[in-house]
Chains A and B, each alone.
Chain A
Amino acid sequence: MEKILKVQMEAVLENQGLARAVAAAYASELDPTVEELTEIKTAVSEAFSNAAIHGYPGDMSGSVTMEIATIRPSTIMIKISDQGVGIEDIAQAMEPLFTTDTGDERSGMGFTVMESFTDKIKVDSRPGEGTTVTLIKKLDTYYDF
């Protein structure tokens, strides 16, 4: 693992754009395509908003930590964690269209978007302890030395 970047943000939706911008700035140095950069930003946006909305529901406050590293040449790992309420049934949470938040016009597509825009996703969560989403994204290289 190289070039480790770790940022901690208050778990409020206002910081969603900041989380995306930080991830995009990091990824930019690895020469991604425009499409790859959009995919990274979108996946981060989903993970961060989930932490802020579902991790700390209601009046609960807390923080979201984002850790980014280059794990192989042109392969980026992004870990987004909260210390919130956690997920009881991870497999069910990851199903397309599944949401626990029906009143607020959520589509339940956050995990599906993360899955399709990255190469690998891992979700670790324990009720009462919090959630960590690990995303791995390989960037296309047009040449190999």
Chain B
Amino acid sequence: MWDWGAFFHYLHNTYLLTGAGVTLALSLASLAIGLCCGTLAALMRMSRNPLLSKPAAFYIWLMRGTPVLVQLIIIYTGLPQLGIRLNVIESSLIGLGLNEGAYLAEIIRAGILAVPRGQFEAARSVGMTHAMTMRIIVLPQAMRIIIPPLGNTFNSLLKTTSLASVISMEELLRRTEVLIQVQFKVLEIFIVAALYYLVMTTIWGFIQERLEAHFSRSHAAPKDEAGAEAALQPNARIEKVLLSHDAQ
């Protein structure tokens, strides 16, 4: 039987809410680690120097070719065999962060490749160094391409963190399971947990929309010349690149 009383009771249970907080913190921290690793890997991967591009390609291949669950278990349970002992939080952050980084690397690389060659050249021609060109000219433009798929991977990440429950990370799913073992309200408590995930992903959806609008502001502005229509075509092409990337 469905127990409404229990449902409403667990809806504001501090133990579960704290678990949701841990899920959110874990997702944000993994995203931050992933963005660092991902940007670095993307830039290395695009380097002409094989000593940089090959290791980056290997990292991306390895992380994307194996399940996160297996990676987490290897890091937490397997590495101690080699004398590397990481606690639950370290293992979760490294596992999820490195995995996220590999996916983000490909997204960031696609974003940078979508910035026309002429933008690099113009930046160099006004005396910017390679690093300045990337930071001031290329990455801000790549953001427009990067944000939609990045938002989607963060949405996935919010849910993927639940895998860390397997190595006993005290996030939302783990706490839900613990609670069920003492309270036996399986459906009610799981539905509450599902609602928490839903709230987090929905709020993120709104934030993502705002970010997308922000980074495409130079393209959303109204035209004041018929001649500008022609300039639209390259962007239509970029949008297509983006869509096809998204679909992969």
Whether chain B is bound by chain A comes out as: no
Binding site for B on A (CB under 8 A): none
